[in-house]
Amino acid sequence: MKKVPLVPDGAFLKNSGILPVGDFDKGTTAMLWKRRTWILGLVSISPLATGCRGYSYGQLLKPTDKDLVGSHEAGSEVFHPLVDESVAKLLTRQQEQCHIGPDGIAQKKTICFVCVENKMSEDIGDFKDQLYEQIDSKILESDVFRPISRRMVDAALHETRLRPDSLMVPDNMQLFTSVLQRQGAPIDYLLYAKLTSGTTQRNTSKQRDYLLTLELTNVHSGEYSKESAEIRKGYHKTALGGVWNYNPLK
């Protein structure tokens, strides 16, 4: 049996029709072989760079690692700072207004955290429950409020068949608070967290301003107060969009 050479020579390339007929020498054949080897190398490396189809990769982040910045919508890089700032403002103001008891200790106010309302143009998905838990945990850790379990709040809403946004009606508020009191959890305040956004469009780039507002209402007097935090974020079609739109020299 005749052995086929590993490296095709010029005659083989001409006779096979792969390349047009011409003069081939050893230098030309070596150059073609190197080019072919280089192309095969790129093909073999490309799965390593792009990842195999059907597989994904993850990594554990350290507390010092930065949050991933979302390319199309808000994520942890927006929501976490909003929660930290707005809750800190709320607790600071309420701590200044705390009543001191006969024993010299500040009296905690019982608070019912009703819900997180999303009024943004984006769907926040599973972040809604996480925002509730983050705000509720920070309030629980403070010396200002005594929060009520979310399960008790949901049970009272289910029993009264009321929506969270209908509790501001006096009769509904009285019914809701009476159910909680019967469960052994009388309350002083209702707390709502509301997310809103505003969008500014400029050609292919846009800026979205995110606002988290904490609304606090005294169920006895109807007194109302709120604290908020804001973050602005730019979205661009190209990598240079941020430089072009937010150039400090413009």
The predicted model scores a pTM of: 0.73
Angstrom distances, CA of residue 47 to CA of 8, 55, 149: 28, 11, 50
Q: What is the pLDDT of residues 188-238, one digit of tens each?
A: 999 999 999 999 998 888 899 999 999 999 999 889 999 999 999 888 888
Asked whether residue 103 falls in the same domain as residue 170, the answer is: yes
* Residues paired with 226 in a beta bridge: 215
Which residues span the domain enclosing 36?
1-40
Asked whether residue 161 falls in the same domain as residue 87, the answer is: yes
Say what the pLDDT of residue 97 is: 75
Say what the pLDDT of residue 126 is: 87
Q: What is the pLDDT of residues 66-78, one digit of tens each?
A: 877 877 888 889 9
Task: Mention every residue, 6+ apart, whose C-beta is less than 8 A from residue 119.
Answer: 194, 195, 196, 197
Asked whether residue 148 falls in the same domain as residue 229, the answer is: yes
Say what the pLDDT of residue 203 is: 87
66: in domain: no
* Residues paired with 234 in a beta bridge: 207
Q: What is the pLDDT of residues 153-179, one digit of tens each?
A: 999 999 999 999 999 999 999 999 999
Asked whether residue 133 falls in the same domain as residue 34, the answer is: no
pLDDT score of 7 more than 70:
no
What does the alpha-carbon distance between residue 106 and residue 92 come to, in Å, rounded to a whole number? 14
Asked whether residue 141 falls in the same domain as residue 31, the answer is: no
Percent above pLDDT 70 for the chain: 74
Interior angle at CA 135, CA 130 and CA 136, nearest 5: 95
Hey, what amino acid is at 175? Answer: L
- The number of residues in the chain equals 250
Token pair 């997310």: residue: 195
Asked whether residue 80 falls in the same domain as residue 11, the answer is: no
